[in-house]
Homo-oligomer: A and B are copies of this chain.
């Protein structure tokens, strides 16, 4: 199967533009057998028109049966093999709070936890302390001093926080201190390879000091760390695909993942109108825009079928503003499925439509999972959407003569 190097070699210059519009968790399920999914239930005349003029299909993130997190879901849509290009847990946590990771940063996901007098963990989440309490305790942890290291401690939500150690020579390969279960003490932090020795020593020292500083703060009287990771050095999306690229998103996580692959980012306000206004503002300066809508996923996670369908309908009403930008290629899809019936991300393939002037028409007139099954794009891997978009944008030349 084609890899990024091959795609890159086949690029040919063009002035065409590609719009990737992502409704997070778009794919759904019926709530009763034989019923419609959220997307099928929604009244979407504008998306249906794009589907009928273009082609539709389903894409499979990561692999059959695999439920992707937000990171791999988007990495796949961006054309990267989500198994080969994995984002470390610490880095993902940093992206989620909009922490601007640098090249000398080592990031970890932290939990406040409860330990008993012998040091054994009795609650890995410290009774899910309120976020406000988390903030206070992070202030306390910030007082820890590590030699020649800049330390950042950022609250996330409830018991969760982020730590970042900034110094030269901090390599990946530091083990987790979180054993993943109660009843035993936190694990010793060790270097899994020699290059990580310096980082492991500093993290051990952080953990030891945190233990002392938190001793009187039960239930949050200890920390657990995991997923110590650096910013990955991946091929950059704008270079690989030859596209000046921007991500327009309301939440830090999605701008963060886009930034990880080298896209510019534009922060948008909370409404669809504000999202579109930001897109319209940046659009003239880019060849590729990734636009992210979060509310579909949120409604799915809440188990609210009706609300998810309504969000889709609301997005549909904004489609004329998308087409008014005159993109040469429009893809509308999700990063994964979040069926309200499951109240969570799921492994189900994700419906997509691809609109361009060079689509071979299938006979599908509506946008929805069951119709996508009959679509001209078949069942694709998520990472195949980018090469398809480039082809339809006239940005790829022939392979071999």
Stretch at the interface among A27-35, A100-108, A264-272: A27-35
A335 → B minimal CB distance (Å): 11
Stretch at the interface among A122-130, A171-179, A274-282, A340-348: A340-348
Complex Cα–Cα for A71 and B399 (A) = 9
Complex Cα–Cα for A86 and B399 (A) = 10
CB neighbours of A68 from chain B (8 A): 398-400
A376 → B minimal CB distance (Å): 6
CB neighbours of A400 from chain B (8 A): 68-73, 82, 86-87, 92
Stretch at the interface among A110-118, A214-222, A295-303, A388-396: A388-396
Our pick among B71, B349, B360, B375 for the contact of A37 (Cβ within 8 Å) is B360
CB neighbours of A146 from chain B (8 A): none
Q: Does A98 contact B (CB under 8 A)?
A: no
A348 → B minimal CB distance (Å): 5
Our pick among B1, B72, B370, B374 for the contact of A399 (Cβ within 8 Å) is B72
Does the CB pair A66–B401 fall under 8 Å? no
Q: Does A325 contact B (CB under 8 A)?
A: no
Q: Does A358 contact B (CB under 8 A)?
A: yes
Q: Does A194 contact B (CB under 8 A)?
A: no
* Stoichiometry, copies per complex: 2
Does the CB pair A89–B2 fall under 8 Å? no
Our pick among B67, B358, B378, B392 for the contact of A398 (Cβ within 8 Å) is B67
A2-B62, A384-B63, A390-B65 known; A399 vs B82 contact (CB < 8 Å): yes
Interface residues of A in 43-88 (CB under 8 A from B): 53, 58, 62-73, 82-83, 86-87
Q: Tally chain A residues at the interface, Cβ within 8 Å.
A: 70
Stretch at the interface among A203-211, A309-317, A361-369: A361-369
Residue of B with least CB distance to A92: B401
Residue of B with least CB distance to A79: B65
CB neighbours of A391 from chain B (8 A): 64-67, 346-347
CB neighbours of A30 from chain B (8 A): 360-361
A interface, over-half SS: loop
Does the CB pair B33–A66 fall under 8 Å? no
Does the CB pair B384–A64 fall under 8 Å? yes
CB neighbours of A14 from chain B (8 A): none
CB neighbours of A322 from chain B (8 A): none
Complex Cα–Cα for A376 and B391 (A) = 27
Q: Does A190 contact B (CB under 8 A)?
A: no
A84 → B minimal CB distance (Å): 11
Q: Does A387 contact B (CB under 8 A)?
A: yes
Does the CB pair A29–B397 fall under 8 Å? no
A9 → B minimal CB distance (Å): 11
CB neighbours of A62 from chain B (8 A): 2, 399
Q: Does A379 contact B (CB under 8 A)?
A: yes
Complex Cα–Cα for A58 and B388 (A) = 16
Does the CB pair A396–B363 fall under 8 Å? no
CB neighbours of A363 from chain B (8 A): 370, 373
A182 → B minimal CB distance (Å): 16
Our pick among B27, B34, B70 for the contact of A361 (Cβ within 8 Å) is B34
Residue of B with least CB distance to A253: B401
The 8 A-B pairs at the shortest CB distance, nearest first, are namely A65-B387, A2-B63, A69-B400, A65-B391, A64-B384, A378-B379, A72-B400, A65-B388
